[in-house]
Amino acid sequence: MAELQLRSVEKTYGNGFKAVHGINLDVKEGEFMVLVGPSGCAKSTTLRMIAGLETISCGEVRIGDQIVNDLVPGKRGIAMVFQNYALYPHMKVHRNLSFGLRLRGASRQTIQSSTDTVSGILEIEELLDRLPKQLSGGQAQRVALGRALIKQPEVFLFDEPLSNLDAKLRASMRVRITDLHKRLRDEGRPATVVYVTHDQVEAMTMGDRICVMKDGHIMQVADPVTLYERP
Ligand code: ADP
Ligand code: ADP
């Protein structure tokens, strides 16, 4: 029940600059939507409005049957993964993973079993007692992914999550994220995804559909084959 809908969404920044011009977008439950477009076209602004990290100047964002415009990030049923991982530097990996659950007041048992499950899936069991500064980029990004996954959100938001990784790691993380998305679908808890990237390979290989933005407008929404394969 977590379709994501944007209805006539606009963003005007404090300095008067209109970054997003009345966009409409439907991301179906369990769909992997990739957001592409040149730097400055408002991909990040759009994602941050969905996340609740930026106010919505006009229009509506709906997640499931709820209008989330006035909800804080923690109440939106979303989890976000950032390019710079955004791990808490003073907390060990296991604490980073379980932070969201602790805030929600989860029991020790739940925290333990969720941490076990998620670290197994992402193969980070060996890293649980390290601090973020003791992780490589690829390891840190797996922890960041784990921190999102452990909350079992209905909507995952990714802001260029692989941009800081080298080409080989990017390729393996692409597969990892796609597999994870399939796995959640197979387990009957489909995750709705909005994934911002400027990498065409990521867009083509990961997206069920691709949304192309330019200057704060949506130019086109199409599946990868339609968009990239020229006859
Ligand atoms: P993208 O993610 O596609 O690179 P952004 O969403 O970061 O684009 O930015 C969209 C536009 O909004 C850009 O022109 C950017 O300069 C502008 N912008 C971003 N943040 C602010 C802000 N806090 N105040 C004013 N303008 C901003
Ligand atoms: P939780 O504690 O369950 O993670 P939060 O309200 O802290 O819920 O955050 C929801 C999502 O938004 C999280 O993925 C979090 O990383 C992100 N987030 C919240 N506040 C900020 C912020 N100030 N800057 C960047 N990301 C944030």
* Closest ligand (CA of 81): 2
pLDDT tens for the chain, 231 residues: list them.
699 999 999 999 999 999 999 999 999 999 999 999 999 999 999 999 999 999 999 999 999 999 999 999 989 999 999 888 889 999 999 999 999 899 889 999 999 999 999 999 889 999 999 999 999 999 999 999 999 999 989 999 999 989 888 888 889 889 989 999 999 999 999 999 999 998 989 999 999 999 999 999 999 999 998 887 765
**Ligand 2 atom with minimal separation from the 104 CA:** 3
Ligand 1, pocket residues at CB < 6 Å: 13, 15, 17, 19, 37, 39-45
Alpha-carbon gap, residue 155 to 167, rounded angstroms: 27
- ipTM confidence score: 0.74
**Ligand 1 atom with minimal separation from the 46 CA:** 6
| pLDDT of 107 | 94
Provide φ and ψ at 165, rounded to 5°: -100, 155
| pLDDT of 229 | 74
| pLDDT of 231 | 58
Give the containing element (helix H, strand E) for 174.
helix 167-186
**Structural contact between residues 34 and 195, judged by C-beta atoms closer than 8 angstroms:** yes
Distance 174 CA to ligand 1 centre (A): 26
Task: Give, using CA atoms, the residue closest to atom 22 of ligand 2.
Answer: 53
| pLDDT of 83 | 86
With b for 16 or more beta-carbon neighbours within 10 A and e for fewer, the 106-125 pattern comes to eeeeebeebbeebbebbebe
Distance 40 CA to ligand 1 centre (A): 6
DSSP annotation of 130: S
Dmax (CA) of the chain: 57
Strands (E), 44-131: 58-63, 66-67, 78-82
**Ligand 2 atom with minimal separation from the 148 CA:** 14
